[in-house]
Amino acid sequence: MKDPVKVMENVATHEDWKICFAEAAPGLVLFARQFVRSGADAEDIVQEAFVRFWRQQHSVQNRALLFSAVRSIAFDLLRKDARRARREAVVVADAEHASAPQFDTTTDTQQALARAVDQLPAEQREVLVMKIWNELTFADIGSVLGISQNTAASRYRYALGALKKNLTSHE
């Protein structure tokens, strides 16, 4: 697998968004799926975020900004949703019940792992998704979520601990 950061840096030089998008899209859609139930809605969010980002930046030096755009547009979508309007104040908590990340699983172990990721609290899961499948640094993750780098790292460790505990208990 290519290093996404290198690909993106190369892309920034050549302004070839297609390579960048092909590499980043699965992870971005996975990130967006945490906030909305439908895969189509997640793709809508990623499309809008990426286009808005690319028009403004013409560079992917600041990947945290791209993930911030996805998160912001996802929350806007949730707020516009009439069914959730009454719960606008707890939009983050509502994300707890959103769809789980979607994976291509081939073995029972992977299915169990995907289910375990699904059961993580939202604040841990989004850190995990950005770190594992999008390879953001803790500094970037902290920037996206508006938390410190140490808090991001702490949530990541909690997520791994919870996953390990979950998997061990089912063995």
Partner 1 sequence: MNDFSDLETELKQLRPSRPSDELALWVEQALTASTPSAGILPRRKTSRFNWFSLGLGVATAAAAFLFLARPAVDRPTAPQPTIAQSTATPAMLTPQPPRRTLVPDGVTRVVYGTRDEGLVFPGNREQPMRRLRARSQETLQWRDSSTGASLRVSYPTEEVELIPAVGQ
Here the tokens at position 170 are 């089912």
Residue of 9, 10, 12, 21 that binds partner 1 (CB under 8 A) = 21
**Residues binding partner 1: number (CB under 8 A):** 44
Here the tokens at position 134 are 């999008």
Residue of 81, 91, 98, 115 that binds partner 1 (CB under 8 A) = 81
Residues 30-49 that bind partner 1 (CB under 8 A): 30, 39-40, 43-44, 46-48
**CA-CA distance, 116 to 32, in Å (whole number)?**
18
Residues 88-117 that bind partner 1 (CB under 8 A): 101-105, 109-110, 113-114, 117
**CA-CA distance, 109 to 119, in Å (whole number)?**
15
Here the tokens at position 30 are 């996975």
Other CB atoms within 10 A of residue 28 CB: 25
| Phi and psi at residue 75, to the nearest 5° | -70, -35
What is the contact surface with partner 1 in residues (CB under 8 A)? Answer: 17-18, 21-22, 25-27, 29-30, 39-40, 43-44, 46-48, 50-52, 54-55, 80-83, 101-105, 109-110, 113-114, 117, 128, 132-133, 157, 160-161, 163-164, 167
